[in-house]
């Protein structure tokens, strides 16, 4: 199989995966609010969700490197299905917290599995395609899937509301329950599809003596030391923490913020789905254009990340001061275009400076930093949003993003990949 063929195969799988994820994106916070949760409660739920991911992220990365990446990924889908089942029946904060822990665990199990499989498989295939362009292609598949899922996720509640009015005695369905049920069913189907698209034979095959829990722990420890000693990886981890804070800040509160703006207008929940879909299409466009922009910047990944993240921070501050649905939509889309433009470069640097035997773990550490940032944002921004308003928390996030981007200026362009001694 050629590099392009492998990229298409992985792209299809990722498109399906993220379509399923997208179904929940336009309505997740609305689901919590429909269960009677306040903004502070939502902050606690999201902190538990991403906190569970953070606690399990690195250990499970070591498991994927040791026991197999496809097996670990398939198990994550099973955990995700269980989390959806609990969320479907949850009607109070304690049960919602249980669902959040399961869904957070599913993300931790998935993190660093198939991405590591793809990088190692890509390097073994014949072809002249650069990994940066391959990642850009995969990102297009991902964002198209997210866009399709978000459109579907925003459309389903309106269909439910029209088909089963609140006053109807024919159903006890919450208007968002169909989203949850569809995610569970689709995840089950994806297990079968993934077994056909992703072949275990292309994953690293550890020797029997290495398949021991102590070796998984040692792998994780080596990767952690490398992540914070390596001149490039350490800068990536630091900026990734703030990236996670900003991402969580906007993901947790854009729906309540927009709901306030459209209150009393003709806009419905479908508008949330449309905006989510447009965001993902903008993200796909930024991924494609990042290849050209990198050429303009003479292949300097750090310059690309610095310039786009600073601009994104400014756009985030502008978003925090919008007062109309249309101006909100425009700033929201511009922000995400800039915010995601450097993601491919970050992924390239992360993979190029990591040895194969700890790749899944290193990707999990990067994801761990995002989730740690998310935990901090859910608690810190949740408190600020509750007492001072969402605009204040977003302005704070924009300033943090601009300040953290300065770290890219102190990062060397390239160093050797190495693993620290355990």
Domain CATH number, residue 292: 1.20.1250.20
Residue at 415 is within a domain? no
Q: Average pLDDT by consecutive 10-residue portion of the chain (422 residues)?
A: 85 93 86 84 84 78 74 91 93 91 88 81 81 85 86 82 56 74 94 86 48 61 81 89 89 83 70 77 84 88 92 94 88 91 88 80 83 80 82 92 91 63 46
The confidence score (pLDDT) of residue 186 equals: 95
Residue at 105 is within a domain? yes
The confidence score (pLDDT) of residue 86 equals: 94
Count of alpha carbons within 13 Å of 233, Cβ hemisphere only?
A: 27
Residue at 76 is within a domain? yes
Residue at 258 is within a domain? yes
Residue at 421 is within a domain? no
Structure tokens at 84: 């959806």
> Could you tell me the end-to-end alpha-carbon distance of the chain, in angstroms, rounded to an integer?
37
Residue at 15 is within a domain? yes
User: Can you give the chain as a three-state secondary structure string?
Assistant: CCHHHHHHHHHHHHHHHHHHHHCCCCCHHHHHHHCCCCHHHHHHHHHHHHHHHHHHHHHHHHHHHHHCHHHHHHHHHHHHHHHHHHHHHCCCHHHHHHHHHHHHHHHHHHCCCHHHHHHHHHHHCCCCCCHHHHHHHHHHHHHHHHHHHHHHHHHHHHHHHHHCCCCCCCCCCCCCHHHHHHHHHHHHHHHHHHHHHCCHHHCCCCCHHHCCHHHHHHHHHHHHHHHHHCHHHHHHHHHHHHHHHHHHHHHHHHHHHHHHHHCCCCCCHHHHHHHHHHHHHHHHHHHHHHHHHHHHCCCCHHHHHHHHHHHHHHHHHHHCCCCCHHHHHHHHHHHHHHHCCCHHHHHHHHHHCCCHHHHHHHHHHHHHHHHHHHHHHHHHHHHHHHHHCHHHHHHHHHHHHHHHHHHHHHCCCCCCCCCCCC
Cα-Cα-Cα-Cα dihedral sign, residues 397, 147, 368, 106: positive
The confidence score (pLDDT) of residue 383 equals: 81
C-alpha gyration radius of the chain: 21
| Nearest-angstrom CA–CA distance, 139 and 115 | 12
The confidence score (pLDDT) of residue 299 equals: 84
The confidence score (pLDDT) of residue 12 equals: 92
Closest CA to 390 of 220, 199, 255: 255
pTM recorded for the entire structure: 0.69
Q: Which residues contact 307 (CB under 8 A, 6 or more apart)?
A: none
Place of tokens 């179904």: 23
Mean pLDDT of the chain: 82
How many domains does the chain fold into? 1
pLDDT digits (tens, 9 = 90+) for 66-83: 777 888 889 999 999 999
The confidence score (pLDDT) of residue 422 equals: 44
| Nearest-angstrom CA–CA distance, 165 and 146 | 28
The confidence score (pLDDT) of residue 267 equals: 67
Q: 383 lies in which domain range?
A: 3-410
pLDDT digits (tens, 9 = 90+) for 199-235: 865 444 444 444 555 566 676 777 788 888 888 888 9
Residue at 119 is within a domain? yes
| Nearest-angstrom CA–CA distance, 105 and 126 | 36
Residue at 326 is within a domain? yes
The confidence score (pLDDT) of residue 213 equals: 54
């Amino acid at each position: 199989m050629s590099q392009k063929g492998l990229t298409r195969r992985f792209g299809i799988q990722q498109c399906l995966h993220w379509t399923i994820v997208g179904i929940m994106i336009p309505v997740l916070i609305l689901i919590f609010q429909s269960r009677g949760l306040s903004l502070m409660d939502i902050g606690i739920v999201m902190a538990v969700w991403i906190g569970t991911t953070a606690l399990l992220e690195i250990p499970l990365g070591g498991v994927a490197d040791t026991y197999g990446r496809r097996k670990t990924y398939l198990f994550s889908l099973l955990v995700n299905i269980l989390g959806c089942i609990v969320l479907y029946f949850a009607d109070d904060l304690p049960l919602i917290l249980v669902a959040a822990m399961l869904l957070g665990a599913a993300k931790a199990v998935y993190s660093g599995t198939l991405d590591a499989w793809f990088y190692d498989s890509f390097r073994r295939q014949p072809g002249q395609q650069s990994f940066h362009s391959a990642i850009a292609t995969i990102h297009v598949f991902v964002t198209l899937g997210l866009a399709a899922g978000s459109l579907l996720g925003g459309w389903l509640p309106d269909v439910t509301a029209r088909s089963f009015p609140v006053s109807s005695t024919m159903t006890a369905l919450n208007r968002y329950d169909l989203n949850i049920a569809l995610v569970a069913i689709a995840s089950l189907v994806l297990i079968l599809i993934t077994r056909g698209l992703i072949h275990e034979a292309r994953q690293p095959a550890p020797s029997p003596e290495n398949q021991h829990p102590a070796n998984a722990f040692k792998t994780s420890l080596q990767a952690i030391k490398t992540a914070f000693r390596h001149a490039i990886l350490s800068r990536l981890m630091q900026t990734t923490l703030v990236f996670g804070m900003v991402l969580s800040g906007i993901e947790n509160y854009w729906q309540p913020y927009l709901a306030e703006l459209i209150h009393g207008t003709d806009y419905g929940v479908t508008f949330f789905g449309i905006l989510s879909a447009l965001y993902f299409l903008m993200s796909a466009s930024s991924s494609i254009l990042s290849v050209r922009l990198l050429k303009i910047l003479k292949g300097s990944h750090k310059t690309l990340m610095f310039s786009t993240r600073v601009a994104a921070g400014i756009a985030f501050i502008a978003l925090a001061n919008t007062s109309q649905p249309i101006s909100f939509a425009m700033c929201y889309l511009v922000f995400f275009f800039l915010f995601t433009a450097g993601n491919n470069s970050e992924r390239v640097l992360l993979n190029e400076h990591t040895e194969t035997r700890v790749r899944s773990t290193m990707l999990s550490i990067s994801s761990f930093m995002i989730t740690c940032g998310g935990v901090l944002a859910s608690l810190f921004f949740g408190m600020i949003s509750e007492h001072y308003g969402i605009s204040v928390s977003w302005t704070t996030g924009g300033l943090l993003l601009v300040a953290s981007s300065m770290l890219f200026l102190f990062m060397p362009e390239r160093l050797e990949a190495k693993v620290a001694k355990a």
